[in-house]
Amino acid sequence: MKYGEREIQEGELITFPNPRPGRRYEIRISLPEFTCKCPFSGYPDFATIHLVYVPDETVVELKALKLYINSYRDRYISHEESANQILDDFVAACDPLEVNLRADFLPRGNVHTEIEIRHVKGESGT
């Protein structure tokens, strides 16, 4: 196993203290190299993951986020489930005040899919 594969396999979302916990601000992150595999055909799917979040006590470490996103490369997972799982894991690690995730998948078979999910701390059903 090569060192990059090992880092991806062992990767987890890491956070650090928000340097401005009393200030409300947005952090915008684009991850243009998301890849997973279709659970039905095995064909690869490619997407850009867009995260916009308002941190509370912690912020996510970007290299850890990149490695976490890269861990989906060989997973058989649907567009819908991958987007929801990424959001769930992000919320569990970072506990932001708000987060919006948009997964913009490249067209495959003449179909373009975008999944958008929002979580607001303290609201039920998110």
- 40 found inside a domain: yes
The more confident residue out of 117 and 124 is 117
Compute the half-sphere exposure of residue 41: CA atoms within 13 Å on the CB side of its CA.
Answer: 6
- 96 found inside a domain: yes
58-111 tens-digit pLDDT: 999 999 999 999 999 999 999 999 999 999 999 999 999 999 999 999 998 899
> Which pLDDT score is estimated for 4?
86
> Which pLDDT score is estimated for 18?
98
pLDDT at 126 over 60: no
- 49 found inside a domain: yes
pLDDT at 123 over 60: yes
Domain span at 94:
3-120
> Which pLDDT score is estimated for 54?
99
**Residues tagged active-site:** 38, 45
CATH assignment of the domain containing 107: 3.30.1130.10
- 125 found inside a domain: no
pLDDT at 10 over 90: no
24-69 tens-digit pLDDT: 999 999 999 999 999 999 999 999 999 999 999 999 999 999 999 9
- Which long-range CB contacts under 8 A does 19-25 form with residues at least 24 apart? 19/59, 21/55, 21/56, 21/57, 24/54, 24/97, 25/54, 25/55
The pair of three-digit structure tokens given for residue 66, joined into one six-digit string: 């990149």
- 94 found inside a domain: yes
Per the structure, the count of domains in the chain is: 1
- 126 found inside a domain: no
